[in-house]
Amino acid sequence: MNSRLEWILTGLHLKDELLPAFINEGIDDSLLVTLTDEDLKSIGVGKLGDRKRLLKEFSRMTSSGFATQPRTANPSAYPAAKVIPKAVPTRSHSETFSDEPMLASAAKPYINSLGLPFVPIPHGKTICCVWQLRIKDFAQYCAETGSSLPGSDFPQGDDHPVVNIRWADAHLFCDWLTKREIWLGLVPPRLTYRLPWDEEWSAAVGLTYESGSTPKARSGVVEGYPWGDSFPPPLGAGNYHSRFQCDGYPETSPVGSFAPNKLGIYDLGGNVWEWCMDLYEKGAPHRVLRGASCFNDDPLYLMSSFRDHHLPDHASNNVGIRLVIAPAIAGEPWLKF
């Protein structure tokens, strides 16, 4: 790549969309540290989350590369380059999003380099992605690692959940994303991306207290569904089996297409099953999946407390993943699969 700007835009999956606009405005690497939120709006960066991530990356640059601390450049040092007139900002990007993962809240989620928002869940220091991992997120991983993008036997768009993900695939993705964002300076080394533990997933869906020492013992014990106590799911509850006629999608839907829960988290029921870290029961190799999918219509499977389980090499059109960010634990068995 010929410039730091091109490298940053590629890393944030924005090159094709935004590089021509930067070139058209005459913005080169020397000016990146001088840009403001209003400048990026003028260039054509319409999404607040994209502007936030770009400003964070630009603030870490010097004329020769990345700086360990942000600095402010003097625009007069670059008289030959085009400088966009500064406008008085009406709203800071930091008013909507948190720059620090562990300071995220439902009102101010943390946004990572892939554009994934994270919010806290009860009883822990873990923050949970509000969406299932999208096809375009996994495509970035594939582009940078040479891995193959898994397909499906029905049409999907970039914002649909990636499917046919094995448990091992999920851990390789998390390992890549952790190292990538530590290297970019977006998360500190004390944090890591991973799958949620079974009880973390329960906390995200609203089951903060469950009895039972294993996922198998907890499965199907607490009654109720992500949308409430009654069955079947009402109109607009989520992407569920077509026989319920509660949504307009015959297969998967774009993530976040329906209302979130009270924590600000979407699609904890339906769309696709989500892998968790845990073994289903002690002494057996099966791993836990939660949330059911748009292909399930059994009331038991749709319960918030139900756990499915499969061998870690299982892949299916109705299985995806959701990420969390959590403190790294020394010796945690990340890639023992």
Which residue has better confidence, 255 or 89?
255
pLDDT for 14: 87
Which residue has better confidence, 131 or 51?
131
CA atoms within 13 A on the CB side of 282: 4
In 34-134, DSSP assigns E strands to 61-62, 65-66, 110-111, 117-120, 127-129
Q: What domains can be seen in the chain, in order of their start residue?
A: 4-87 (1.10.150.50), 101-327 (3.90.1580.10)
CB 125 within 8 A of CB 203: no
Compute the residue count for the chain.
337
pLDDT for 86: 29
pLDDT tens digit string along 263-306?
Answer: 999 999 999 999 999 999 999 999 999 999 999 999 999 999 99
Confidence of residue 60 (pLDDT cuts 50, 70, 90): low
Asked whether the predicted pLDDT for residue 67 surpasses 80, the reply is no
Q: Which of 74, 97, 93, 102 is nearest to 36 (CA)?
A: 93
Which residue has better confidence, 260 or 94?
260
d(CA 159, CA 146): 21
d(CA 116, CA 125): 18
- The pTM assigned to this predicted structure is 0.73
d(CA 149, CA 142): 6
pLDDT for 9: 86
Q: Residue 35 has which token pair?
A: 């840009």
Average pLDDT over the chain, rounded to an integer: 85
Asked whether the predicted pLDDT for residue 71 surpasses 50, the reply is no
pLDDT tens digit string along 129-170?
Answer: 999 999 999 999 999 999 999 999 999 999 999 999 999 999
Q: List, in order, residues 6 or more apart from 337 with CB less than 8 Å away.
A: 167, 168, 171, 312
pLDDT for 252: 97
pLDDT tens digit string along 293-302?
Answer: 999 999 999 9
Name the least confident of 33-42, 74-83, 258-267.
74-83
Provide DSSP, 269-298: SSSSEEEEEEESSTT---EEEES--TT---
d(CA 104, CA 141): 25
Asked whether the predicted pLDDT for residue 333 surpasses 80, the reply is no
CB 275 within 8 A of CB 300: no
Confidence of residue 42 (pLDDT cuts 50, 70, 90): confident
pLDDT tens digit string along 190-229?
Answer: 999 999 999 999 999 999 889 999 999 999 999 999 999 9
Confidence of residue 36 (pLDDT cuts 50, 70, 90): confident
